[in-house]
Amino acid sequence: MSRRILITGGAGFIGSHLSERLIAMGNEVLCVDNYFTGRRENIAGLFGNPRFETLRHDITFPLYVEVDAIFNLACPASPIHYQFDPVQTTKTSVMGAINMLGLAKRLKVPIVQASTSEVYGDPQQHPQQESYWGNVNPIGPRACYDEGKRCAETLFFDYRRQHGMDAKVVRIFNTYGPRMLENDGRVVSNFIVQALKGEPITVFGDGSQTRSFCYVDDLVEGLIKMLDTPPEVSGPINLGNPGEFTIRQLAEKIIAMTGSKAKVEYRNLPEDDPKMRKPDITKAQNVLGWGPTIALDKGLEPTIAYFRKRLAQ
């Protein structure tokens, strides 16, 4: 059955891949984006498709449209971008959630919130389970994003309890793939761009901190599976790849795969930067029947090819 699905942040890295996948499945997509970090070129391949529509809009303002389901992905997700205007970041997470929940309530449609592993802060539990409440600095430089997303989750569960809504939450762990912004300061894009340019690979801290990297196609599959769960499924559910790598291992892997002669340079670790990040995906496996299928080496190949092409332009 074809549905008309609203994706806020639809021109972003994840949103554009989700748009393509939903349209390929026969749905209509209304892509809403204010283009702060989203790019028109990310969705250029969908222009002219009769099932795709785009609307420039900031979700901190109400939106009045008719749709059958909503994915709320709008929010800058990398420290460089969300710290550029921290007040606006918090407003996007909180007021954006209120506006999208209000829309879903009026239309009586399911809504999925793209939350984040950052709600766990610098975790004292490893791997991180959904029942863990986190270890977040509420007044630090990352709080605009961490606490904004935590408040959005609060709103989703309060709307569920108070209004009986089909509101769902997924927590997205580090995701990578083509269409990441080359200047977003995230570790995968940073390392690939530096390696391809032959610049020093900047590793913050001693490189022993860990991350788990999920390829974007796997993540999109998990998002769609979450939308299709019965109304009694609320989450939160972790979506990520539990394969765990140190930052140093990632740097060495990317240097080898790009054939770069770049050297690793160590710098001071930023404030509140998490030392470990690994999802427990037992819930995703049991509730959604979902698990990642694309290994890091496999996913890095098209990601490196994408950045190689962009840097050649």
CATH fold of the domain at 4-173+215-240+278-293: Rossmann fold (3.40.50)
**What pLDDT, in 10s, does the model give residues 36-52?**
999 999 999 999 999 99
pLDDT over 70 (residue 272)? no
Boundaries of every domain in the chain: 4-173+215-240+278-293
Residue 60 corresponds to which tokens in the numbers above? 């901190």
Distance CA 186, CA 179 (A): 13
Residues 6+ apart with CB under 8 A from 267: 202, 203, 204
pLDDT over 90 (residue 237)? yes
Q: Which residue has the tokens 């090819």?
A: 305
Residue from 145, 159, 176, 215 carrying the catalytic annotation: 145
User: Which run of H or of E encompasses 102?
Assistant: helix 86-107
Predicted model pTM: 0.94
Distance CA 215, CA 218 (A): 6
**What pLDDT, in 10s, does the model give residues 72-87?**
999 877 677 778 889 9
Burial 52-85 (b: 16+ CB within 10 A, else e): bbbeeebbbeebeeebebbbbbbbbbbbebbbee
Mean pLDDT on 105-109? 98
User: What does R_g of the chain's alpha carbons equal in angstroms?
Assistant: 19
> Is 132 labeled as catalytic in the residue annotation?
no
Distance CA 153, CA 236 (A): 8
